Amino acid sequence: MPDTEPSLPSLDDKCTDLKRKYGKCFNKWYTEKLLNGVFEDDCRDLFTEYRQCCAEAKNIPALIEDAKAIEKMYLPE
């Protein structure tokens, strides 16, 4: 798989390189291993690192709480 394969940017620019590395790892694992019956996840550490980067960059828990508050304003129980 070429390194120049297009991909969407991450939630935050500082995480985009990790996102691309994980995407490349995942695609390789999926096509070369999973489809051949090998279920061991070679990309778990990269995914964890990428997810942590996104959480720190955008403060995802705070965004979720904000979304819940907005939802309550528009969809009262």
Tell me: the pLDDT tens digits for 41-62? 899 999 999 999 988 877 777 7
Q: With a cut of 60, say whether residue 3 has pLDDT above it.
A: no
pTM for the model: 0.66
CB burial of residue 19 (10 Å; 0-12, 13-18, 19+): buried
Is residue 33 a contact partner of residue 42, using CB atoms and an 8 Å limit? yes
The mean pLDDT value for 11-37 works out to 91
Is residue 59 a contact partner of residue 46, using CB atoms and an 8 Å limit? no
Higher pLDDT, 69 or 6: 69
